[in-house]
Amino acid sequence: MVDEFEDSLEMARALLGGNEGASDLWEANEYVNRALRLRPADAEAWAMLAWVRATTKDSPPSGLLGRARHLDPLNPGLAREVERLERGRPLR
């Protein structure tokens, strides 16, 4: 069985990892938004959307990072990734 949510996040990760240009960022944004339509309360997807947006702006969108933290406040891995993004480093 195919998990469209996981597939969407994996495609976004691959596009962001190989970031060949603006079209990859737009496509990654579409995949993350598709994942969020499927699971709107997924903290990892919100953090990934912040990552996508941070690659196109001077600073990471703090509202998206705050939402990710709020949805899964006890996840230490997510907390580290959010902190890394806030310091301007991409998610793993």
End-to-end CA distance of the chain: 26
Q: Which residues contact 17 (CB under 8 A, 6 or more apart)?
A: none
Per residue in 74-89, pLDDT (tens digit) is 999 888 888 887 776 6
Residue 61 contacts residue 30 (beta carbons within 8 Å): no
- Position with higher pLDDT, 61 vs 7: 7
Residue 63's pLDDT is what? 83
Mean pLDDT of all residues in 14-41: 90
Q: Rounded distance, CA 86 to CA 69, Å? A: 12
Domains of the chain: 4-86 (1.25.40.10)
- The answer to whether the predicted template modeling score (pTM) of the entire model surpasses 0.85 is no
